Structures are given as C-alpha cells and as structure tokens.
Chains A and B, each alone.
Chain A
C-alpha cells in the first residue's frame, strides 16, 4: 500500500506546515486537456473529493483547496479541461480567464502521456502566453500499456520547462512534482521556456503586429504579452479584439490585423486560425515524435474489443438497454436482500426500545421519539439505503469505466431529434444518480439554449431517490416488470417533452464534437471511495431531513391537525388520483427529499393495503411532480429563476395530469 504511505506522509507534513506558520504562500493551478487526470491530482494533493470519472468535461467550475508542503502554504486550483486558449464552451472560458487574468504563481500543465501530440498543442499555447508552467506527464502507466515510453529529459529540454512523470491514480510522482513546483517558485530552478515560432511569412506578420500592439496598447501589454495579443489578433480571436475597443488607437490596430489576416489567408487558402493551428500542431507533432519511444506495437486489447462491441451500430443498442435494465434489476435484487435483513434487525430493536422508554417517559414523548425520530431513522436505513448503496456502486462503475461517452455516441442521432446532441446523454445518465450534479453537468453543452433544453429533460429522469420509490413500492409489491415499465414510460415522456421543448425553442443544434477516452478498468478502491462519499452525503444530508419530516408528521398527528390537511387534499388525492387522502402529506414533504414520500406514506398507511394501481399512480406522480428543493436551487443557479420556475410549474401540472390519466386508464389494461 505505497499510496497509503504517501498519503500519511503528506498528512503529517500538512500538520507540521500548519504548526510552523507557512514560510511562503503559493497559488498553483492545474490546467490541461479534458480527462487527463487533473482532478485525480487535485484530490491527491488536497484530500478533497472533486468529481473524477472517465469522460471528458467533468469539472465545469474551478475548485480550490489548500496544501501545506515543506513549510509552504499552497493554494491549489482545479480547472475544467480545455483544448485551447481560444474559447468555445462555457467551462473553457472559466479556465482561460483564470489562467490569463488571475495569473497563478505556477501552472501545472497536466499532460496525458498516451496522447502527447494533442496535449502538447495546449502546452505550446501556455508557453505563448508566457505563463510559468511545469509539465506533469501523467498516465505514464497507461502510455506504457499502449507500448509508448516518453523520454522525460528530452521533453523537458525541448520545452525548456521541468517535466515530472506521474501516475495520478496511485500517487506516484506527485511528491516530486510538488518539490519541482517549490524549486521553480524559489527560482532554484530557472525556466528557459521554448519560444514558439511560426513559418517565415507568419512571423513577419506577427512581428509587425506586435510592434503596433506594444506601441499603441501599452496598458493591455501589462496584462498579456504583446506577442500573444498579436498572435490572437491574427487569429481573429473575438475576445481579444473586443478588449481593444477601449483603446484610442484600438480600431487602427484591428484594421491592420484584419489586413494581415486576409493576406495570410490568401497565401494559405485557409482561415487564419486554421493556419496557426496547423503550425502549432506541426511543432507539437515534431516534439512528440522526438521524445516518444515506441517500445511495443500496440496489440488488440480486451478494452478495444469491448469498445468495438459496445459501440457497434447494431449490437450497441441492445447492450445499452441490457446495461440499464440489469442495472435496475441488480439494484432491485440487492436492495430487497438488504431490506429483508435490516427489517428483521430493526423490528426487534424498536420493540425493545419502546418497552424501555415507556417505563419512564410519558406516552406522548414515547410516541414522538419512537414513531417520529426512530421510525424516521429506521425508515431511512431500511427503505432508502438498501437501494441507494447498490445504485451508487453501479453508477460509479459506469462513470469510471468510460461507458458514458460510448452511450453518448450511440444516442447522438436520437438526441438530435430533440434538438441536442449525443453529449447531452451524459448528464441524462448522471440524472439517474442525482439531479443536482446532472443539472450542473449540462454545462458540457456548448450553447445556452442547449444547456437549458438538456436541463429541462434531465430533471425528469428518476434520480436514486425516485428509484427508491419506484423499486421500493411498485417493484416490491407489484413486480419488477411494472417498475421497469415505469422507467421506459419516463424515457418516452422525456423524449416527447424534449421534442415539444425543441419546437418551442427552435435553433440549429451544434453538432457533436467529443473526445472518446479509452476504456479503463475501474479501480475497486475508487469505486468504493466514491460510493462511500455519496452514501455519507446521503446520511448527513438526507437522514436528518427524513427524521425531521417524520417528527413533524407525528406531531401533526398527535395534535390532531392531520384530519384538516387530509380533508383539504382529499378532492385532488382521492377524487382525481384515486389515492388514499393521506397521500397528499408525503407529496408535500417530498419536495424536501423524494425518499420522504415513500417513508412518510409507509408511516401513514400500510403499504400492503394499497392497490397496484394506487402504487403506480403514486410512483408516477412522485417521479414527475417537482424537482426536489436542492434541484430547484441548482436550476435557479444554472438557468435563472424564471426558467427554474417554468420547469417546476410544468412538472407539477404534468405529474397530476399524467397521474389522473393513469388512474382512469390503468384499470383498462391491468386485470387486478
């Protein structure tokens, strides 16, 4: 367990650092292409839990953590993956702004050793920006698996900056990297960064522009290097040319830049950014070739075979359906098994507790404690956790294996029908876990319209909490087939609504452009860690709410308020939905946490007494009726309160409409 040792040592030095008062403060940022391992490194350094997985575009916001190392207090920033310093999607703007404007002391450019050429393209841009970088050559283990070895010394010489090989997942090389950071910051190790130069006819134009820029825009040159501004202007970067508006001679510079760009395009016959990208890639290719040693010719690995089958144009689809269906079946089987065991355990326990309590407490207190607090805890543990834990394990497997981008590839066509593209399927799949990260994950979509459209359908995907209700009520008492039918119905609904929303918000969808990361064997340690973190969140966040909800209900009951509430809700609940009138109460509390609906329902009416149709109607309504409070908050943050409100109102109306319809129609198709 070397990684445990590394961790322990770092932990101890952290303590020591805190005690000694940091000698110096440093801010370092992790930057690089998507899916190279930045967040794994960030987590290693800070002990925090940034989302990690095997698909591009997980980190969408910058994250911060602190580390004490060798008497230094180091602020570490994790940035979204980025392919270039010109901006394309929202998360890339976050990264570029941070790197260019905030100017961290040192940038750790994380580079995927198994795809060096593409990664170096970004490195070259950092060098052009004259940013102080060191290169973290990550995933050297994976490169070795592909038969590639990188000559670290040569690469370091070619780039003129330190290069440290690492394997982030095991923590190997991380300490060396930190030491290098310190050495560079203390100027014990000088950087002699490579100067990126272009072909002759481009250089002439860059130099001419650079002179104009430094003569006329001296203010801007204190923020960005003059040469970099010149290159960006030649590339027609709208963001940089926008900055020139505030300058007296800005227009003149811009006019000259445009003239030079047109000249360049005449010579090359391509758009100026393409010309520049070609040149940079030429250099990246040259360096990559020089430093890469091909040790073994790549053979067809198991992962590649898996890749071919799971993205196959025919086989891929039944496999996708089978994966999703068996996911729920497994959760169901595992969950029921756990429920049976836990219920037996707790029933005896509760009985004894009640006996002990009533010996010295008044009856009303015993009810509150027993039927309120304890029943809530027990219900949370026996009803929700058994389904949630297996769910988290399977979700983590899907995330870490690299299946999600394959599913996105398969679904690209269908997603175009609702005005989106394949990438939108990733937040959709994440939605089965929890709607909150799924809403935030919508940022991988490129335009605001697409982000909103994706968010609109994502909240309709039954999250783990809703799965507790679907499996715990319909699955357990009606049958797994009925529960699966509900999932299928939900997907149909999602596509129908997506289609309508697309018609209401028309626009040309941007096409799919996505890197397909190779399959990787998920590490058991990671899976368990992720599951534990999410379960811990559930215990800390959801259980208190569940217990509080239970206590409030018990108090209402004891105070005799229940009858009023039930009576008021009766026309809607019984008349329209055909549910027992008490069912209105769980639905109100369900806004806090969706698990609450089932838990409170079970405390109000014996679940066995419900008819199959009632169970299905209740599940349908909970599945659709309103995003929980946390999701509404995420929607407000991501899409604005107007749109969040629209989503909420539409979902409530839809849920009751569909619920009532189901109550009328289901008896026709079901013979119970």
Chain B
C-alpha cells in the first residue's frame, strides 16, 4: 500500500496539464473542468466514484471561511470537500 500511495498521478495526461489550478483557487460561482486529482490511491478512487472524473464540469457553490470546506456542484449533486481534499482536485477554469 505504502509504495502505491507514493505514486501520485500528477504527471497526468499532457492534454490535461495546461492552465490547471487547484479547485481551491476558484471563487464562488466559478466553473472549472476537472483535469486530475492527486493523493493516495483510496482518495483518488473515492473522488472519482463521487463523480470527480477528468473532464467533468464543476461549479463552486460556496467556500467556508478560513481555509474552510468547499461546496460545489458536480453531476447535479452538491458535494462538500474539506479544504485539504479540495486542494487535491485540479481543474481548468472555465467551461468545457
């Protein structure tokens, strides 16, 4: 497990790599397209299962105060992620 955890998928697919920012740098109401997520195997898989797969559009609904959690819409569902988790999701700002 340890070894696998170290493998992060940051290098990703080249066509997903340009102008990518962390989800946490989007502001309320802004839209982005998921490029990739980084982190341990379990987390990356879980986020994908909750609908955060590459290419999907997300819209920030609100941010909690002081590096608080993020609420955003993905696939018609409102999802809340803690700041730490949200900072592991990388998006391309703007629509698809």
Residues of A within 8 A of B (CB): 83-84, 86, 88, 114-118, 121, 235-236, 238, 265, 268-271, 273-274, 277-278, 281, 285, 308, 311-314, 405, 408-410, 412-413, 416, 421-422, 511-518
Contacts and interface: CB of A to CB of B under 8 A. Distances in A.
A197 to B, nearest CB: 17
B16 A281 contact: no
A507 to B, nearest CB: 14
9 contacts: A265-B9, A269-B14, A274-B48, A278-B48, A314-B65, A408-B80, A412-B80, A511-B43, A513-B81
Given A115-B76, A236-B41, A270-B36, A512 B53 contact: no
Nearest to A308: B62
Given A83-B50, A86-B45, A271-B9, 10 more contacts: A86-B49, A88-B49, A117-B51, A118-B51, A270-B12, A408-B80, A413-B67, A422-B69, A512-B82, A512-B85
Interface of B: 1, 4, 9, 11-14, 16, 36-37, 41-51, 53-56, 62-69, 71, 75-85
Contact of B13 (A117, A270, A273, A313): A270
Contacts of A409: 64, 69, 71, 80
Nearest to A285: B75
Nearest to A86: B45
Contacts of A269: 9, 11-14, 16, 36
Given A118-B77, A409-B64, A412-B69, A513 B47 contact: yes
Question: What is the interface of chain B mostly: helix, strand, loop, or mixed?
Answer: mixed
Given A412-B64, A513-B81, A311 B71 contact: yes
Given A268-B13, A313-B62, A514 B75 contact: no
Contacts of A88: 42, 46, 49
Nearest to A265: B9
Contacts of B67: 413
Given A409-B69, A518-B78, A274 B45 contact: yes
B45 A121 contact: no
Nearest to A281: B53
A271 B50 contact: no
Contact of B51 (A116, A281, A422): A281
Contact of B64 (A271, A281, A410): A410
A476 B92 CA distance: 59
A278 B41 contact: no
